[in-house]
Structure 1
Amino acid sequence: MQEPLFEGVTLIEDGAECSGQSLIGCFVKKAAARFTNVVVALFDNSKESFEQRLSSLPTSVTVLDFYKESLPSFADYEAALSRGGSLQKGVLFIESLTALQWVHGGGVDRTCS
């Protein structure tokens, strides 16, 4: 199993409290209420689409939009996330099942697109 990309990465799976809402939007709002540094990395949807699903985006949230980029390998995902700047002592949401599997070493073929 690969080491997590960032220290203290936690995969949140329980969305029961967010029923009927955009799941990532619900988690982002909950995190923004507790942490001062919340970063959302978008791979599967554009920033515009993401912001439309949230009634308002908390000011403590930084959105990194990688939707239009072609990122064929784990190294490319890692580099793209690193470009987002400082992620220390905050919460990172990765809006892509494939990217999450790569970060968590979930058995995804890192050579395929």
Structure 2
Amino acid sequence: HPILVHGCLVLYVPNAAFDPILRVLRNVKKSGDSTNGTNLNLVNLLRKQNERFYNFQYHGSLTTPYCEEIVLWNVIKNPYHISQSQLLQFRDVLDAHNKPLQEIFRPIQLLNIG
């Protein structure tokens, strides 16, 4: 079974739909932390009210070595709306190596043929 990865563009526009996530995010600062959930409407994160939702999918690879071609990429056409200050709060979360969750991408790679 493929791994599903979600990709999107971000516009720096405040979005109150992120507020419930950000309230509980204060209790989750590093890998392994947990907190009780909150009521969350995911649709409001993805689009404005009455706006159609568009996405496309393609089969591709992981972005980390060994770059296995086992990923189903789901790319959202509609950009997320989130303010810079809201986005910065996500960057305070630490990964399993106690490094901030930022710049978690890699340069474009050559096509894997073979």
The TM-score range, normalised by the shorter chain, is under 0.3
Q: Which structure has the larger Rg over C-alpha atoms?
A: 2
More helix by share: 1
More strand by share: 2
